[in-house]
């Protein structure tokens, strides 16, 4: 497994790509991405992790801020080029950008959503997943098991 943190390039990384979308909340959400990467460490896959080593929560979210634009473009490119997307809405988080990404990529056929009780818009997420047949799970371990299967199927061709 190769883990690529934003904003590092990943064009040369080979193997099925998994994008880890979901709760970050300006660095306030749990570091769930590390546990997912560890759980999949035995697979020959590329894990695209949007959590930067150094994020400045006071960055201007503007086209005039090259660091912000770089981050958003990296995430969009990763979502587009991923073979599988795991989206995790952590209980107690807001994850507004993840909700946007659910709307953008929900119909891609490559999304798996984990939305436990306690996520403030769980009802909205459940309805969207139900309507568009997006697989969803109540816990992160359930989602990781499903994503492992999806990655193995991708690897098998």
Q: 5 is written with which tokens?
A: 């943190």
Neighbours of 15 (CB within 10 A): 16
Q: Residue 102: which domain range?
A: 2-156
| Ordered per-residue pLDDT tens for the chain, 157 residues | 999 999 999 999 999 999 999 998 776 778 899 999 999 999 999 999 999 887 777 889 999 999 999 999 999 999 999 999 999 999 999 999 999 999 999 999 999 999 999 999 999 999 999 999 999 999 999 999 999 999 999 999 8
pLDDT of residue 24: 87
Instruction: Tell me how many domains the chain contains.
Output: 1
- In contact, 29 and 87? CB cutoff 8 Å: no
What is the side-by-side strand order in the sheet with 136-137? 2-5, 46-49, 17-22, 84-88, 111-114, 136-137
Q: Which token pair is 95?
A: 């994850």
Strands 136-137 and 17-22: unpaired
Q: What is the CATH number of the domain that holds 127?
A: 3.40.50.450
Q: Tell me what pLDDT residue 27 has.
A: 67
């Amino acid at each position: 497994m190769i883990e690529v943190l934003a904003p590092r390039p990943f064009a040369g990384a080979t193997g099925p790509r998994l994008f880890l979308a979901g709760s970050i909340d300006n660095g306030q959400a749990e570091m769930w991405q590390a546990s997912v990467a560890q759980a999949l460490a035995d697979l020959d896959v590329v894990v695209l992790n949007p959590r930067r080593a150094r994020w400045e929560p006071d960055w201007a979210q503007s086209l005039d801020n090259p660091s912000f634009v770089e981050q958003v473009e990296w995430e969009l490119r990763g979502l587009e080029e991923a073979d599988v997307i795991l989206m995790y809405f952590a209980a107690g988080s807001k994850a507004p950008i993840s909700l946007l990404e659910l709307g953008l990529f929900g119909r891609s056929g490559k999304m798996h959503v984990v939305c436990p009780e306690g996520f403030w818009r769980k009802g909205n997420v459940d309805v969207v997943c139900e309507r568009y047949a997006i697989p969803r799970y109540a816990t992160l371990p359930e989602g990781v098991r499903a994503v492992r299967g999806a990655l193995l199927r991708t690897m098998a061709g």
